[in-house]
Amino acid sequence: NSLMASLLRRLQPICKRSINHNYRIQLQQHRNVTVRILNDGESCFEHVQSRDPQQAEFLQAVREVIESCEPLFTKYKDYIYCLPVICEPERIIQFRVPWVDDEGHTHVNRGFRVQFSQSLGPYKGGLRFHPSVNQSIIKFLGFEQIFKNALTQLPLGGAKGGSDFNPKEKSEAEILRFCQAFMSELFAHIGPDTDVPAGDIGVGSREIGFLYGEWKRITAKCQGVLTGKGVGWGGSNIRPEATGYGVVYITQMAMKDEFNTNYENKRVAISGSGNVAQFTAEKVFELGGNVISFSDSGGSIIEPNGFSANNYEKFLEIKKHGKRCKDYARESKTCKFYEHERPWKHIGDNIDIAFPSATQNEIDGEDATSLIKSGVKYVAEGANMPSTHDAMSLFQKHCDIYIPAKAANAGGVAVSGLEMAQNSQRVIWSRQEVDKKLYDIMEGIYDQIKTTAIDLDRPNDYVLGANAAGYKKVADAMFDQGQPLKSWGSFGIAELQDNEV
């Protein structure tokens, strides 16, 4: 024993020196990685990818922003230094949601809230209830939300949340119990000046009502902690319509500005059949356009000559009762139904405008090629990131106008911001007031993405314009708040690398 103790005493300084040396090497390597991130977008992406290699949707969103913003980083070099910070959420909350079905059986789902950036204001973003929900999808949605919210010019940060709960084929009582269980955990992380969730896929006015009722029961407060509420109890006029109306407004602005044209007699293809799709169609009809398609997860319906007023009313009535697109097809003699198919390959010729309004990555390269062959000149995204990287590239190359989701579908969060303002003031604005404010916000977004693209020598590149304009606004706020300092760009990097620990 004494011999072993003596040997250990002699080895201790050697081990200590070896540990210290290895620690210095590891720290040195970490610093070198940081330097590469601060000077190169691709290295930043590789760093993000190395941390979350399985999060395909999130990585797709990050890559799109980095690649499209290269002209910004080239012209205004300081902005690159925000990349490693802005790509990391400020906070990720994951929790279990146990709930009991009508048969008395207990189920457990996962709940998420990714609070991505509070640089511009309280966290703001929707809640999605869908079986596909995972951390990657919530992170991608939250990342996109940062820049979308920035474009509205309202003081809103970026966040997203949800659960892998599937509300379809659940009773109202089961949905109520799930919403109560979900809010029993989420309530601790939200508030009118902290984080204000809204609806998304699977979370409509009914679910918002259930969630809000539970939040009030737990907290004994009545505040604007959720948006998308009913107009009779704190909600805003035009909120359900806002995303669809906004998509139509900004596309109209671009068509008029660039080509002096409008919706009159234009043939319009729409995917999805929820709020976004329905109110996009409503505004298109109002402006003289002709809608020919809708879809859901069960398939697509196409009226080759367009939906008549009667057909559209019939479609809305069917959806109002929770039925599917195939149920409409059974009642229309002129409708074509394509089971489990997206509409893009089946819409025929002479299509002028496409509004993908269903879900992420619904349009791949083949779908985009079919749309282009159909004659589509104008594309604006109603859903979040509905186009794959290949589809985006094709639209940018072949379409006269392509407006990405960050700009095109910002109308929903814009009116959510207006709902927050009304809650704070204890007022309710009329439909006309809110619609006018929505139009003005979308006009401001169009002006931003257009002027930013021109400033970066890429006129009419609205993908660059949307990403760069949103990124600049957030980055400027981060610099002002010291997260990070602009001086990082001119810091003594070589000296930092050479210094000993």
- Copy the structure tokens of residue 188: 């601790």
| Sign of the CA dihedral with 439 first, then 442, 444, and 447 last | negative
Q: What is the rounded distance in angstroms from the CA atom of residue 157 to the CA atom of residue 159?
A: 7
The C-alpha atoms of residue 98 and residue 95 are separated, in whole angstroms, by 10
Token representation of residue 356: 């993908």
The one-letter code for the residue type at 111 is G
Q: Which of 124, 139, 148, 160 is catalytic?
A: 160
Helix (H, G, I), strand (E, B) or coil at 170: coil
Cα separations in angstroms, 52 against 34, 84, 91, 232, 378: 17, 14, 15, 43, 35
Whole-angstrom Cα distance, residue 394 to residue 367?
A: 10
Q: What residues contact 497, with CB distance under 8 A and at least 6 apart? A: 28, 31, 32, 35
Note if 160 is an active site residue: yes
Residue type, 304: P
CA angle 80, 82, 88 (to 5 degrees): 125
- At residue 384, the 3 state secondary structure works out as coil
407: tokens are 């700009």
Active site (catalytic) residues: 160
